[in-house]
Amino acid sequence: MAKPREGVFRADAGTVDEEGFIAPSVGLVEHALHFTCAPDVLAKTRQILDADRLELPGAVVVWDETIGRRRGSKAVPGSWWATSGSVTMSLVFGRAAVEALDDPLAAVGEAVVAAIGSFAPSAPVTCRDGEIWLDNKQLGRISHEPYYAVDIFVVRVNANTDFSKAPRPVQESSSRLADYVDVASLPLGTAKTLPNALSIAIMSEVPARIAAAA
């Protein structure tokens, strides 16, 4: 297959193109595609894989996933509340790399917890059965789906999520990483940079964990 031309490749991170755009870090994945908005990151990832648009290991990042905010007949039961302050992404690996893991979901959960821990939150972070908890409230969710010859891990974390319009049960049961870290230590000293910084940390920790098991 021809090499995709869109997105950011690991080898190009930090380089400047003709228009002055500086390619961001994508951690240890080889290729990442970023989207401002999409209804569902998993559906978007399947479409991209079906069109051979992603090199592996790769990531698909959606800054504003809208599936959790649909109303009426379009509402999706059990969907995750996300906004542009959330980390909503998928990580895609070849089947052979994931088969080396005894428990893929648990291994990725440990890696995501390590990535979150790198920001020194003031309360412990744990992951149980794909659910990430901080201060006895839900911080995130991880799921695993085999898809043809690859494995997709969907990671959702409340980094700086805006819950002002979320249903009250969601507000009361959720935590945000931004409320438990030293904001001054973040890039530019603002919580607005946390989603990007956390996504890079996850794109580093998860591939490292999977590579170590190979």
Number of domains in the chain: 1
Residue 104 near residue 144 (C-beta atoms within 8 A): yes
Domain that holds residue 205: 8-213
1 lies in a domain? no
d(CA 51, CA 10): 21
pLDDT at 97: 94
Residues of the chain with pLDDT below 50 are 1
- The reported pLDDT for the residue numbered 70 is 82
**CA nearest to 161, candidates 146, 148, 177, 145:** 177
- SS3 label, residue 188: helix
Q: For residue 83, give the CATH number of its domain.
A: 3.30.930.10
- Would residue 30 count as lying in a domain? yes
- Structure-token pair, residue 154: 């969907």
Is residue 174 included in any domain, yes or no?
yes
pLDDT digits (tens, 9 = 90+) for 54-98: 999 999 999 999 998 887 767 777 789 999 999 999 999 999 999
Asked whether residue 116 is domain-assigned, the answer is yes
pLDDT value, residue 2 = 52
Residue 3 lies in a domain: no
Is residue 32 a part of any domain in this protein?
yes
pTM above 0.75, yes or no: yes
Write out the H or E segment, with its range, that includes residue 67.
none
Q: Is residue 57 one of the residues assigned to a domain?
A: yes
Residue 73: the pLDDT is 67
In a domain, 2, yes or no: no
pLDDT score recorded for residue 14: 80
Checking 197-200 for CB contacts under 8 A at 24+ apart, the result is 197/119, 198/87, 198/115, 198/116, 198/119, 198/157, 198/159, 199/59, 199/61, 199/87, 199/89, 200/24, 200/25, 200/26, 200/27
Give me the pLDDT at residue 31, please: 96
Cα distances (Å, whole numbers) of residue 190 to 17, 64, 194, 197: 27, 19, 8, 11
Is residue 169 exposed (0-12), middle (13-18) or buried (19+ Cβ within 10 Å)?
Answer: exposed
Report pLDDT for 98. 95
Question: Residue type at 173?
Answer: S
The pLDDT value recorded for residue 3 is 57
